Amino acid sequence: MVKALVENPEEVLYLKADTNYTVYSLNNGKKVISGFTLKRHEERDEYNHFLRISRAYLLNPKFIKEVVSEGANKAVLLMDGTMARVSRRRQDVLVGL
């Protein structure tokens, strides 16, 4: 069981994989590091509405500013200015945004 590092999951902009760690990027600009993999966090109930766009990113859809298409490639621009590339196999997750 993964301990809750953030009291309110709605404050989380995205979770980013960093080897066997996960970096939480919060709405207030802070970052929190977890000692568990991104997959473990993805399985938690409070993050079930987040979008897994690649091996590295799990995004909160309410902080997506726009989806940028560059030919066949897509990327997501978040409210804090972070640009996250969408993997080719996970582009169907963005349908309906």
Q: pLDDT tens, 12-64?
A: 999 999 999 999 999 999 999 999 999 999 999 999 999 999 999 999 999 99
Q: Tell me the pLDDT band of 70, cut-offs 50, 70 and 90.
A: confident
In DSSP terms, 21 is beta-bridged to 18
Cα–Cα nearest to 34, from 74, 54, 6, 72: 6
Q: Is the pLDDT of residue 1 over 70?
A: no
Q: How confident is the model at residue 2, as a pLDDT?
A: 58
Question: Where would I find the H helices in 25-70?
Answer: 38-42
Q: Tell me the pLDDT band of 76, cut-offs 50, 70 and 90.
A: very high
- What is the spatial distance between Cα 93 and Cα 18, in angstroms, rounded to a whole number? 22
User: How many other C-beta atoms lie within 10 A of the C-beta of residue 61?
Assistant: 13
Cα 45 off chain centre by = 15
Find the farthest-apart pair of alpha carbons in the chain and give their distance in angstroms, rounded.
41
Q: How confident is the model at residue 95, as a pLDDT?
A: 84
